[in-house]
Amino acid sequence: MGFSPSFSCSTLGALILGCLLLQASNSNAQLRPDFYFGTCPPVFDIIWNTIVDELQTDPRIAASILRLHFHDCFVRGCDASILLDNSTSFRTEKDAAPNANSVRGFDVIDRMKAALERACPRTVSCADMLTIASQISVLLSGGPWWPVPLGRRDSVEAFFDLANTALPSPFFNLTQLKAAFADVGLNRASDLVALSGGHTFGKAQCQFVTPRLYNFNGTNRPDPSLNPTYLTELRRLCPQNGNGTVLVNFDPVTPNAFDSQYYTNLRNGKGLIQSDQELFSTPGADTIPLVNLYSSDMSVFFQAFVDAMIRMGNLRPLTGTQGEIRQNCRVVNSRIRVVENDDGVVSSI
């Protein structure tokens, strides 16, 4: 796939050391970028190496990890509740409609956590690990680096019902999108537009695209905002009554790169899902100037994305003695039997 990071883990470490004095905007006072420097110095290298290894065979994994982080934070804050499997106490968020047969990367998260437990037992939370992994995934794909505020703890329950209602739908109009973001505390237009830029890489299933190709809002016609050439291409990839699980690139131009091409696509009527194109095609929307700005200046987009990611990462964190530090991200510690398999993964009862 041609993946070749332009710098090594040692360079990453130098970046972190050099930038930790920077103050992360809107940072929660209990979260700080150097949280693990005394207790788990290799945390960044371990997460970095796990993602680099996976990218060799799965170029989607960077976007998938970032999406996991989004879907975690939008449901009761960034507490790794999305990683919990079903238990007798709660139903997993993985079964919620926005996540079922869609979110992925859990095996990579397991390997990452097992490596961290070997190096620093009972130290790094799954919530922080996923937050760091999303930042490294962006960086490895060509995006920005930022000092990630850390010190979150893990939820001891999942929130299936909330996951069904809190996560933005790919079929939302702009008013619905703004409401979904505001409901979790992301009430700036730049939060919505910048975080939507996470769709500059990765893929979506045809089932989330086909309604606007053939029967937009019940009109039996395609979404009029779609570029006609792009419409023809999408209909080829996602035929009517075809396989809804077929994957389509969010960005047909630079599908695996984290860049500003997403916004240029929106300006050209080439947003893959309705909720993306709404940012530019809703008449008079305050999001349109931001789409134009981020399309024309990638550095401005990167800074806006960093600001929004830090704000999202600070949503309702569990800190101090709240929650726990899970040993296995799939289960709460009270259900753990401390036995490791050959891969170092802690098994559950």
Which residues belong to the active site?
Answer: 71
Cβ-count burial 264-292 (b if 16+ within 10 Å, e if not): bbbeebbbbbbbbbbbbbbeebebbebbe
In the chain, helix, strand, coil percent, each to 5? 45, 5, 45
Q: Do the beta carbons of residue 94 and residue 103 sit within 8 Å?
A: yes
In 3D, which of 260, 140, 262, 250 has the Cα closest to residue 206?
250
Say how far apart CA 236 and CA 211 lie, in whole Å. Answer: 14
Phi, psi values for residue 348, rounded to 5°: -115, 160
Which residues are bridge partners to 249 per DSSP? 203
Say how far apart CA 152 and CA 133 lie, in whole Å. Answer: 14
Q: Do the beta carbons of residue 132 and residue 335 sit within 8 Å?
A: no
